[in-house]
Chains A and B, each alone.
Chain A
Amino acid sequence: MAASQLRPPLQTPQSTSAPERPHRASEVVRVSSPAQSPWEKRWWIDKTAKLLRAGEGIGPDDDIEALLKMSEEEIARHFMNDPRFGDALLDFNMYFIGFKADDIKTDGAYNSHAFDFPNTISAAQALLSNGDYFKLFDLEGPLFLAPLRRETDPENMLPGDAGLTASELRRKVVNELKVVFANLGASAAAQMSSNGQDLCRQLADFGARKDALTEQVHRAFDDAEIFVLTRAQVVSWPLDSVARAAREECVKYKPKADVKRLAAAIQAASEQFSTSFEEILRFEPEAYEPESVLDFKAVDLSTFPIKDKWLAFGYEQAVALQNSSTNFNRKRSAYVLKRFFCDDLTPVGFEDPQEHVAGAHGSDTSCFACHYKLDPMAGFFRGLGAQFYDYSRERTIIFDDLADDSRSRYEATWRTRKGSSRKWNIGYVRSPRWENQNSYGETLGDLSKIIREAPEPKRCLVKRLFEYMTAENQTIDGGYLDHLTEAFAKEAAVSSSQAMKNAIVRIAKSQTYHERNAEPQRCYDHAPDATAAKGPPCRVAYILQKNCAQCHGTIYGGDASLDLGAWITAPDGKNRTFPHLDDDMQQRPAQDTITRMMERLVSTDPKRRMPKNKIMSSQERQELYLWAQQELSRIGKGDVQ
C-alpha cells in the first residue's frame, strides 16, 4: 500500500460532505453510483471490505490497484467470495435477530455465542452454498453445538476431579453414570428369577438420587452446555425412564416385579445415555475447531431421546426472553414481531373487531392497540415454559419465575370461542376487523411458514440490511424500500441466496451508502420511477402517497380540504405543514393539522379512522404516527424546521 501506487499529486482539498441544501422532498433517483475520485473510491472499497469481511478492511496484502479497476458490483461480489464473508453474514444474521456481538471470534476461534442461534448459522451456510437463505426464518431446525469448553470450573469439581482436564472430566462423569447403569443392569441380570424386590429397592434408591446424579454429570459442563443437555433430556430421559419403569413395577400390590422389563428399561436407558454422549463428545475442542461458518457442524439429533426438531431459541434467548407466569409469552411474541416483522408495537390504534373481544385487554381499547397483535402471536409459544422447555406433553407448565400452572388452563387463554372455525386464536394478526388479512396457525412450524410466506418479513429483512450497511435509524424512503424489497422477493423466488447477495450489491451502490456525512432524516435514494416533487418529509412521503393521497391529494374538491402530497410554509412562518384549509378557506396552523391526523390514525371509530375502509400496514401506521408525534413535539417546543 505504498503512497506512490496510490495517489495522484496533491490537489486542492475537496469537500466530501453532502453539499448544503435545504430540506427537500423526493428527487429523481440516480440508479448508477455517483462519479468518485480515486481517493473516495478507495474509501468505498475499504468500507465495503470491512462490511463483507467481518470488519477486516483493506490491509497491506490487498491489491488495491486491482480493485480500483473493478466496478463497484464486481468489488462487492469479489468480497462476497472471500472466506471471511461467512463471518460477516453470520454477524448480520445475528444483528437481524437482535443478538449481534462485538465479535464472533476471539484470537481466531469462534466464541461460543456464535453457535447459539441455529437459524443464523443455517442461513449463513445456505447462502454460502447457494441454498435456502430463508432458513433464517425457521424457528425449528438443527442444533449447532459449540466446541466443548476447554477449562474446568473449580467451583463445581469434586475432590477426586483435581488435576483433570475439562475433556477428562467430561469422560469421567459420563463413565460414572454408565457404571451406575451397568451395576443396575448386573443386579437385574442376577435377579431374573427372583421376585425382584431387591432390585426394586436399588431402583428406589436410584430414583431418589436422580437430582444428585444429574448434578454429577452437569459438573463437567458449563451453563450453555447444561442448557443443551437439559433441553435434549440426555440425562433426564434415561434416569426418568428407569424411574418410571420402577414406579410401575415396584408397587406394593405386585408380589413379583417384572425383572425382565426392568432390565430392559435399564438397558435402554444406558444405551440411550451412551449414544447421546458419544455424539456430544464429538464436539471436544481437540477434534472440533471450525475455521469458517461452513465448518460448523450440526448435532445428529437422532442420537438424542427427544426426536423433535430443535428450537432455534438458544441459551441466551432463553434468558433474554423469559416467560413469567403473568406474561403469557408476550415478551417472546413482541420479540418475534419486532425482529421478523419490524413491528415495534407502538400503540397507535386498531380497528374495531367485528366480534366482541373479552378479557382485560379486550375491553380496554388502549391496551388492545398492541394486544390484538401481541396475544395471538404469543400463542405459538403456549407450550414452552421456563427457558423454552417444552411442556406440551406435561400436565403442568413451569415458568421462568418458577411459578407453575395447569397447562390446559394456561393454554385456554388462546382458545377461540365455540362456533369458531378455528380451534385457536393464534397467528399473525394484521387486522382484528378483517380476518382474511390474517395468518393463523398453531405450532412454531406454522409460525415459521407464516414468516417465510408473509411479505412483511422480507421487507423487514431488507430494511435491517439497509440499516446494517448504512446506519440504524437512517431514514429510508418507503418507495425505495419497496423497490428493494420487490426486487429481492422476485429474485428470492428463484434463489434466496442470490437475492440476498444482489440486495447487498444494490445497497452498496446506493447514494446513502456513499454518503460520508448522511443526514439521518434525509432520503438519499428513491425508487426508479420516483419523480421530483415538492412534498412532505421523505420519512413519510411515500407512506402518505400510498395510503392517503388518493383521497387527500388536493385542497380543492378533495376530502377535508387537505393535500397530503404537498408541503408548505405554515401560517406562523416558522414551520412547514400540509395544505389544509378550514371552513373559511384559511390555512390551518401546523399543530392543528398534525393533531387531527393523529386523532384519525388512532381513532377506533370506523367512520373516523384513516385511511377509511382501507388496510394500512401497522408498520406504516406506526411510522406515520411516530413522525406526527415528533412533529407535534417539535412544534410545541418552538423548534424551527
Chain B
Amino acid sequence: MSRPKPMHPSRREVLRFGGLGAGTLLFARSSFASSISADADPHFFLLVVLNGGADSSYMFDARPLSMTRAGKIQNYLGKEPDPWIGKNGGKALSTSLIKPLAAFRDRFSVLNGVCMAPSFDGHLQNMNFLFAGKPFGGDSFVPHLNSSETGRKPESLDAIVPTDPLFINVDNHSGVVPLRPASVKALSATLRKVEPPGSDHGLVDFMRRRLAAHTGDAGRFSAGSSLMLAGLDGAAQVHRQLASLTAPSEKLGPEQQQLALIAECFRLSISRSAIYVLPESFDVHAPDQAKAQPKLFSDAIGRIATLFKGLNDTPFDAKRSLFEVTTVMVASELGRTMRGVDLPIDQTGTNHNQFSNSILIGGKGIRAGLVIGASDLADEKATVSKAHLALDGVLEKTMGLPFDFSTLKSRPDQPDAFDIKDYLTIGSVVNTVYALFDVPKSNYRSLRRDLPAAPVLHGLLV
C-alpha cells in the first residue's frame, strides 16, 4: 500500500543568499529620508523564530561524536564539534554549521539549557509559552515593548510580520500586523495618491464627533467606537508613514526584501518590533527528516547570518547601523530529544524536548560574546540528577543544568527534585528583554502562579 503523499500548501522556493550578493546594502537610495524616529534613543526588537522545535545540537549545544558512537544522540553531520567559549568563561560546543555566524560573535550571546513549558511538550503550548508565558496563551510580550509605560513614545504598530505567520493563542496582537514586501509597493503608491484622514478637517472632525458620541457606554459597540476613535487619531500618521515606505527592490531575494522592509519600518517609526519566521520546519520526527538536518540548519543559519549582516550593514541613521538600535533574539519553541526510542542511532528521528532550548540574543543593550547556561548529558559518561530522572526516566532528553542567577553560571549540583526556581527559563529571558525595554515589572513573568518573577539576567545587559 503506498503511503499517502503528505500535501501542504506549496512553499516558495528560497534562493541562496550567496548568489544574490548576500549582505549588500539593502537600500537602493543613498540618502536617508528625514522621517527618522524622533526618539532620542531608538530601540527596536527583532524576533527570529525557528518553527517546529530546532535541535540545538546542530548549533551551539552540540555533542561529541563519542556520544553518537555510544548510541546516545543522533548526529547526521558526522563531524566533531568545536569549543565555543564565551568571554565570561561559559563553555559550549558548536558545530561547523555555525561558521557563518562566527563573524558576528561580538554581536550576540548564546543561552543554552533554557527550560520552556515544563508540563507540556506540544508545539502550540510551547510557542504560546514563548510568546505569552502560558501554555494556553495570553498576552504576548511583543506588544509590551511598545507600550507607553516604557517611557517611550509608542510606534504606530507593535510589530510587523513580513514572513509566514505563526499559529499561537495570544490576546493582544491587534497591533501586530502582517506586512509583506510584495504588497508594499502598491500600498505606498496608492496611499500617496489618497489624502490621509484629517486633511479635510471638517469631515474628519465630523467623523470624530460621531465616534465620540458612542464611546463611554459599557457596551461592545461603544468599546469598538472608542477603538475606532483612537485608531482615527493615529491613522493620519500611519498613512503618511506607509506612504513613505520604499518597496524593497525586487532584485533582492525574498529574505533580503523582508529585512529591507523591517529596516524601513523601524526607520520610519512604523513599528517597534518585527517577527521573522524562518521558512524551514525543524520538526524532524521522521528519520528521513532528521537526516536532512545538516542541510536544514545550513540553510537556516545562512539566513540568520544574512539577517545579521544586513542589520550590521544597513544604516539606521548617519551614525548607527540597524544592529546598534535593535535587540535581536533567535529562538525556537522547543529543543529536541537526543534520539527516538527503539530505533538505530543512524536511523532515528527526534521528538520534543521542552527542558533544554537554546536562544541567541544580541544587539542593542546586550552584552555580546557570552555563553550562559548549559545542558546536562554533555557526553556518554555523564550522569544526571534525580530531578532529571523524575521528568525523563529514559534519558531521551538533555535538560538544562541548575543555574546561579547571580553569577550567570551553571551550578555543579544535581538536585534531587525538580524545582523551577533552580533553572534558567524562558521567563528569565523575556524578563531580561523587558528590563532592557523598561517594561514595568507588573508585566514580568512569574515562574509559577505562586512564585515570584523569573530573575532578570542582569549580567547579560550592558
Q: How far is the CB of B209 from chain A (nearest CB, A)?
A: 14
Chain A contacts for B4, CB-based, 8 A? 230-231, 385-387, 389, 398
Could you tell me if A517 and B352 are in contact, using CB atoms closer than 8 angstroms? no
Interface string of B181-196 (1 = CB under 8 A from A): 0000000000000000
* A236-B3 Cα distance, complex, nearest whole Å: 9
Chain B contacts for A223, CB-based, 8 A? 7, 9
**Of A226, A366, A471, which is within 8 A of B220 by CB?**
A471
Q: B218 at the A/B interface (Cβ < 8 Å)?
A: yes
Given A386-B6, A387-B4, A398-B4: A325 and B351 within 8 A (CB)?
yes
Could you tell me if B288 and A402 are in contact, using CB atoms closer than 8 angstroms? yes
Interface string of A390-423 (1 = CB under 8 A from B): 0000100011111110000000000000000000
Given A227-B7, A230-B4: A402 and B220 within 8 A (CB)?
no
Chain B contacts for A517, CB-based, 8 A? 214, 217, 219-222
Chain A contacts for B214, CB-based, 8 A? 17, 517
Q: How far is the CB of A102 from chain B (nearest CB, A)?
A: 16
Given A326-B351, A402-B6: A519 and B220 within 8 A (CB)?
yes
Chain A contacts for B136, CB-based, 8 A? 346
Q: Which of B326-359 contact A (CB under 8 A)?
A: 340, 349, 351-352
Given A240-B2, A387-B4: A17 and B122 within 8 A (CB)?
no
Could you tell me if B285 and A399 are in contact, using CB atoms closer than 8 angstroms? yes
Q: Which of A214-258 contact B (CB under 8 A)?
A: 214, 218, 223, 226-227, 230-231, 236, 239-240
Q: B155 at the A/B interface (Cβ < 8 Å)?
A: no
Q: Which of A489-548 contact B (CB under 8 A)?
A: 515-520, 522
Could you tell me if B119 and A367 are in contact, using CB atoms closer than 8 angstroms? yes
Could you tell me if B119 and A516 are in contact, using CB atoms closer than 8 angstroms? no
Could you tell me if A211 and B349 are in contact, using CB atoms closer than 8 angstroms? no
Could you tell me if B218 and A326 are in contact, using CB atoms closer than 8 angstroms? no
Could you tell me if B221 and A516 are in contact, using CB atoms closer than 8 angstroms? yes
Q: B462 at the A/B interface (Cβ < 8 Å)?
A: no
Most buried by B among A17, A346, A385: A17
Could you tell me if B285 and A236 are in contact, using CB atoms closer than 8 angstroms? no
Chain B contacts for A474, CB-based, 8 A? 220
Query: Which B residue sits closest to A409, measured CB to CB?
Result: B342
Q: How far is the CB of B78 from chain A (nearest CB, A)?
A: 22
Q: How far is the CB of B116 from chain A (nearest CB, A)?
A: 15
Q: Which of B3-38 contact A (CB under 8 A)?
A: 3-9
Q: B1 at the A/B interface (Cβ < 8 Å)?
A: yes
Q: What's the interface size class on B, roughly?
A: 20 to 34
Q: Which of B216-247 contact A (CB under 8 A)?
A: 217-222
Q: How far is the CB of B350 from chain A (nearest CB, A)?
A: 10
* A236-B4 Cα distance, complex, nearest whole Å: 10
Q: Which of A263-281 contact B (CB under 8 A)?
A: none
Could you tell me if A387 and B349 are in contact, using CB atoms closer than 8 angstroms? no
Most buried by A among B3, B9, B340: B3
Q: A448 at the A/B interface (Cβ < 8 Å)?
A: no
Chain A contacts for B122, CB-based, 8 A? 327
Interface string of A364-390 (1 = CB under 8 A from B): 101100000000000000000111010
Could you tell me if A236 and B7 are in contact, using CB atoms closer than 8 angstroms? no
Q: How far is the CB of A632 from chain B (nearest CB, A)?
A: 10
Chain A contacts for B221, CB-based, 8 A? 17, 516-518
Chain A contacts for B222, CB-based, 8 A? 17, 517
**Of B5, B217, B288, B340, which is within 8 A of A230 by CB?**
B5
**Of B9, B119, B217, which is within 8 A of A17 by CB?**
B217
Query: Which A residue sits closest to B2, measured CB to CB?
Result: A236
Chain A contacts for B286, CB-based, 8 A? 401-404
Q: B289 at the A/B interface (Cβ < 8 Å)?
A: yes
Q: How many residues of chain A have a CB within 8 Å of chain B? A: 46
Could you tell me if B6 and A326 are in contact, using CB atoms closer than 8 angstroms? no
Interface string of B201-212 (1 = CB under 8 A from A): 000000000000
Q: B55 at the A/B interface (Cβ < 8 Å)?
A: no
Given A240-B1, A517-B221: A403 and B340 within 8 A (CB)?
yes
Could you tell me if A18 and B219 are in contact, using CB atoms closer than 8 angstroms? yes
Interface string of A162-191 (1 = CB under 8 A from B): 000000000000000000000000000000
Q: A319 at the A/B interface (Cβ < 8 Å)?
A: yes
Q: B255 at the A/B interface (Cβ < 8 Å)?
A: no
* A364-B390 Cα distance, complex, nearest whole Å: 11
Q: How far is the CB of A349 from chain B (nearest CB, A)?
A: 14
**Of B2, B3, B7, B285, which is within 8 A of A325 by CB?**
B285
Q: B158 at the A/B interface (Cβ < 8 Å)?
A: no
Given A17-B219, A517-B221, A520-B220: A387 and B2 within 8 A (CB)?
no
Q: B299 at the A/B interface (Cβ < 8 Å)?
A: no
Q: A210 at the A/B interface (Cβ < 8 Å)?
A: yes
Chain A contacts for B8, CB-based, 8 A? 319
Interface string of A5-49 (1 = CB under 8 A from B): 000000000000110100000000000000000000000000000
**Of A17, A214, A326, A399, which is within 8 A of B121 by CB?**
A326
Could you tell me if A518 and B7 are in contact, using CB atoms closer than 8 angstroms? no
Could you tell me if B119 and A366 are in contact, using CB atoms closer than 8 angstroms? yes
* A248-B401 Cα distance, complex, nearest whole Å: 57
Most buried by B among A327, A403, A404, A517: A403
Q: A324 at the A/B interface (Cβ < 8 Å)?
A: yes
* A394-B351 Cα distance, complex, nearest whole Å: 24
**Of A231, A319, A394, A399, which is within 8 A of B1 by CB?**
A394
* A51-B260 Cα distance, complex, nearest whole Å: 44
Could you tell me if B218 and A387 are in contact, using CB atoms closer than 8 angstroms? no
* A236-B2 Cα distance, complex, nearest whole Å: 7
* A225-B413 Cα distance, complex, nearest whole Å: 58
Query: Which B residue sits closest to A522, measured CB to CB?
Result: B218
Interface string of A449-483 (1 = CB under 8 A from B): 00000000000000000000001001000000000
* A143-B351 Cα distance, complex, nearest whole Å: 35
* A394-B2 Cα distance, complex, nearest whole Å: 11
Chain A contacts for B351, CB-based, 8 A? 325-326
Chain A contacts for B220, CB-based, 8 A? 471, 474, 517-520
Q: B283 at the A/B interface (Cβ < 8 Å)?
A: yes
* A236-B214 Cα distance, complex, nearest whole Å: 62
Could you tell me if A402 and B289 are in contact, using CB atoms closer than 8 angstroms? yes
Q: How far is the CB of B287 from chain A (nearest CB, A)?
A: 8
Chain A contacts for B119, CB-based, 8 A? 364, 366-367
Q: How far is the CB of A211 from chain B (nearest CB, A)?
A: 7
Chain A contacts for B283, CB-based, 8 A? 324, 401
Query: Which A residue sits closest to B393, measured CB to CB?
Result: A360
Most buried by B among A214, A326, A398: A326
Q: How far is the CB of A188 from chain B (nearest CB, A)?
A: 23
Query: Which A residue sits closest to B340, measured CB to CB?
Result: A403
* A394-B119 Cα distance, complex, nearest whole Å: 33
Query: Which A residue sits closest to B223, measured CB to CB?
Result: A520
* A471-B219 Cα distance, complex, nearest whole Å: 12
Most buried by A among B7, B217, B351: B7
**Of A210, A403, A471, which is within 8 A of B285 by CB?**
A403
Q: How far is the CB of A464 from chain B (nearest CB, A)?
A: 18
Q: How far is the CB of B129 from chain A (nearest CB, A)?
A: 15
Could you tell me if A214 and B285 are in contact, using CB atoms closer than 8 angstroms? no
Q: How far is the CB of A564 from chain B (nearest CB, A)?
A: 24
Most buried by A among B214, B286, B288: B286
Could you tell me if B285 and A324 are in contact, using CB atoms closer than 8 angstroms? yes
A selection of 5 A-B contacts at a CB cut-off of 8 Å is A239-B2, A324-B285, A387-B6, A517-B220, A517-B222
- Other than the given A346-B136, A401-B285, 12 more pairs (CB < 8 A) read A18-B219, A227-B7, A236-B2, A324-B283, A386-B6, A387-B6, A402-B288, A402-B289, A403-B340, A471-B220, A519-B219, A520-B220
On A, residues with C-beta under 8 Å from B are: 17-18, 20, 210-211, 214, 218, 223, 226-227, 230-231, 236, 239-240, 315, 319, 324-327, 346, 364, 366-367, 385-387, 389, 394, 398-404, 471, 474, 515-520, 522
The 5 closest A-B CB pairs, nearest first, are: A517-B219, A402-B286, A401-B285, A403-B285, A517-B221
On B, residues with C-beta under 8 Å from A are: 1-9, 119, 121-122, 136, 214, 217-222, 283, 285-289, 340, 349, 351-352
